[in-house]
Amino acid sequence: MNARFHRAAMTAVLLAAGAAQAEPSSGLLLAQPCAGCHGQDGAGQGATPAIAGLDREAFLEAWAAFRADARPATVMNRITKGYTEEEAALLADHFASLQ
């Protein structure tokens, strides 16, 4: 009861404020783990290459090659097989949009 009342109060605040909160896109959420190795926003880290600003087509071409075991890899061949084509496209769009 208290929690519900409180939530209603919160919603009132947000509505009053015009709900300015921009939620992270699915592409941004999907891309989060990439920062675990490729540096912040895909900027590259040590031996791990930068992927920020990579052309969309180049990203997808590399992705497909990893996925088909047609490009030398350590982990990317195993990683790419865990995502759908739609998800790969979201990732490509996301990293293409970063500088």
Partner 1 sequence: MTHLTRRRFGALAGASALALSSPALLRAQTAGRLVVIGGGFGGASAARFARIHYPDVSVTLVEPWDRFITCPYGNLILGGMKTLADITHSYDGLRARGVEVIHDRATAIDPESHRVRLEGGTELDYDKLILSPGIALRWGAIEGYDEAAAGIFPHAWMGGDGSQITLLRQQIEALPEGGVVGLAIPANPFRCPPGPYERISMIAHYLKQANPTAKILAFDAKEGFSKQGLFQDAWAELYGDMIEWVPSNQDGRIVRVDPANRLFVSEFGTEHRVDVGNVIPPQYAAAIARDSGLADESGWVPVDPRSFAARMAPDIHVIGDASLASPLPKSGFMANSTAKIAVAAALAELTGSAPPADPVYFNTCYSHAGEDYAFSVVGIFRPAEDGFAETPDSGGTSPRGPLAEMAETRALEAEYADAWYASITQDMFS
- What are the structure tokens assigned to 33, written together? 């783990």
* 68 near partner 1, rule: CB under 8 A: no
Q: Reduce the DSSP state of residue 48 to 3 states and report it.
A: strand
Closer to partner 1 by Cβ: residue 39 or 53? 39
- β-bridge partners, 48: 45
What the block records as the tokens of 52 is 């920020």
| 32 or 99: CB nearest partner 1 | 32
Contacts of 86 (CB under 8 A, 6+ apart): none
Q: Which residues bind partner 1 (CB under 8 A)?
A: 2-3, 5-7, 9-14, 16-21, 23-24, 26, 28-30, 32-33, 35-40, 45-48, 74-75, 78-79, 81-83, 87
